[in-house]
Amino acid sequence: MARLYQNPKGTKDVLPEEQQYWKHIETTMQRVAELYGYEKLTLPIFEETALFRRGVGEGTDIVEKEMYTFSDKGGSSMTLRPEFTAGVVRAYLQNGMASRTRPVKLWSAGPVFRYERPQAGRYRQFTQFNVEAIGELDPALDFEIMSAAWHLYDALGFRKLNFQINSIGCPLCRPGYLRKLKDYYRGRLSGICDDCRTRIEKNPLRLLDCKNASCRPVIETAPSIGDCLCAECGDHFRTLRGYLDSLSRPYTVNPRLVRGLDYYTKTVFEVWAEGIGAQNAVCGGGRYDGLIELLGGPPTPAVGFAAGIERMVLTLQAHEISVPPIPSPKVYFVCLDDTARAEAVSLISRVRLAGVEAVMGFGGRSLKAQLREADRKGIPLAVILGSDEIRSQKAQVKHMQSGTQDMVPLSELPAFLTARTG
């Protein structure tokens, strides 16, 4: 006997029972994108490896440990996308979108791949909703991006969300801060983990989000970047906070919130949800004013966010938020013999064309077995077709719940069923 196969570790089958959550999230996010004037961009799932090495950054966990990289049959190195932004910027530059009216506002959604240690809410294939606005430095655009995230979670019915924001400065002011941070850490080498000892030289900003318990107290008392921002970054952050305050959007300034790479600038933010365990970040975003130039384009500011759809599903379930059901069959065609089945196949197609969800019984099963199936599936109406019905050109329509029946001429069936299920 052949062996049974298993899905790869860190991947997930989304069964029909869970699809209503996905559909609801997909419809809601598409609507939010439309409300804010973002246009859809569909991208390949794999790109040249070099794009991610540069666009995500050497020295990140993603590039160092987590990419699904392979040689294709032609010997080129390809990588399954571990995030969207690099691909969006590649497409923006390649398709001459820089000449469009700015900002260019784009959204995408689909699977991303990271070789991580799987846990609840953390997978190796997961799905992101990604939103980017390219070509504008105005803090009102940072606010718009954050508002879109807010709007999405609000429309989904999430409560108790925690918006964490910070500014990580720019190539003007960050080096001064990093000097302070490195000096601080060099004086505490014995108290920190091995990873952090290498981070001091390699990626010092990442020191601030080390998850190792021994490093926590060191992080607590580390210098804050907020005290080192240049005038432009300080103004930008103050203006953004002013917008957030005016709309009374609760948020926490978290001086430890970072993105570890030089081309991330100014605003960073995350949204945390309650009740879904340790992996509680449903959304991460920020500015990347240096990335477009780094990928060969002209200096261009940009800001965006990515939200994980699996964690949104977990949040909806944890908070017991009800979502619209996916339309299910309203009518079951019971066929009692072959003549009836021949009539049923054409009748049912007319009923479906009229917009009524309908299914039929297959094979030679008894009346009882077919009605039991309709009942088990919660289908409200059954059309019973046997040779008598075909001869008289009238069918019995049984209301499954009450048990009452109507005799309906076959020619009137589509209209009758539309009226009864509408």
Whichever of 109 and 233 has its CB closer to ligand ATP, that residue is 109
In whole angstroms, the minimum distance from the beta carbon of 56 to ligand ATP comes to 9
Whichever of 132 and 310 has its CB closer to ligand ATP, that residue is 310
Distance CA 158, CA 275 (A): 11
11 touching ligand ATP, by CB under 6 A: no
- Near ligand ATP in 64-123, by CB under 6 A: 83, 114, 116, 122-123
Whichever of 130 and 370 has its CB closer to ligand ATP, that residue is 130
In whole angstroms, the minimum distance from the beta carbon of 314 to ligand ATP comes to 9
311, 313, 315, 408: residue in contact with ligand ATP (rule CB under 6 A):
311
Name the residue among 165, 122, 130 with its Cα closest to residue 279: 122
Whichever of 109 and 331 has its CB closer to ligand ATP, that residue is 109
Where does this chain touch ligand ATP (CB under 6 A) — which range of 16-24, 137-145, 274-282, 372-380?
274-282
In whole angstroms, the minimum distance from the beta carbon of 206 to ligand ATP comes to 11
DSSP output for 356-373:
--EEE--SS--HHHHHHH
260, 301, 308, 414: residue in contact with ligand ATP (rule CB under 6 A):
308
Where does this chain touch ligand ATP (CB under 6 A) — which range of 11-19, 239-247, 306-314, 339-347?
306-314
Distance CA 60, CA 205 (A): 11
Where does this chain touch ligand ATP (CB under 6 A) — which range of 42-50, 144-152, 280-288, 385-393?
280-288
Whichever of 281 and 400 has its CB closer to ligand ATP, that residue is 281
Whichever of 116 and 232 has its CB closer to ligand ATP, that residue is 116
Buried b or exposed e, range 76-94, using 16+ CB within 10 angstroms: eebbbbbbbbbbbbbbbbe
| Edge-to-edge strands, sheet with 39-40 | 39-40, 104-113, 125-134, 302-308, 281-287, 265-273, 161-167, 252-253
Question: Sign of dihedral through CA atoms 369, 370, 374, 377?
Answer: positive
Whichever of 211 and 368 has its CB closer to ligand ATP, that residue is 211
Task: Kindly determine how many residues on this chain lie close enough to bind ligand ATP according to the rule CB under 6 A.
Answer: 17
Neighbours of 290 (CB within 10 A): 19
318 touching ligand ATP, by CB under 6 A: no
What angle (nearest 5°) sits at the alpha carbon of residue 419, between those of residues 415 and 422? 125
139, 169, 260, 284: residue in contact with ligand ATP (rule CB under 6 A):
284
**Preceding amide of 103 cis, omega within 30:** yes
306, 334, 379, 397: residue in contact with ligand ATP (rule CB under 6 A):
306
Name the residue among 137, 138, 144, 180 with its Cα closest to residue 38: 144
Whichever of 196 and 390 has its CB closer to ligand ATP, that residue is 196
Q: What are the residues facing 110 on neighbouring strands?
A: 128
Q: Compute, in degrees rounded to 10, the torsion defined by CA atoms 334, 338, 339, 344.
A: 40
281 touching ligand ATP, by CB under 6 A: yes
**Cβ atoms of residues 88 and 43 within 8 Å:** yes
Whichever of 283 and 323 has its CB closer to ligand ATP, that residue is 283
Distance CA 174, CA 195 (A): 22
Alpha helices in 296-379 (DSSP H): 309-318, 338-353, 367-376
Distance CA 132, CA 305 (A): 7
Nearest residue by C-beta to ligand ATP?
308
Q: What are the residues facing 281 on neighbouring strands?
A: 272
In whole angstroms, the minimum distance from the beta carbon of 181 to ligand ATP comes to 20
Stretch 115-134: interaction string toward ligand ATP, x if CB under 6 A:
-x-----xx--x-x------
State the residues that interact with ligand ATP by CB under 6 A.
Answer: 83, 114, 116, 122-123, 126, 128, 279, 281-284, 306-308, 310-311
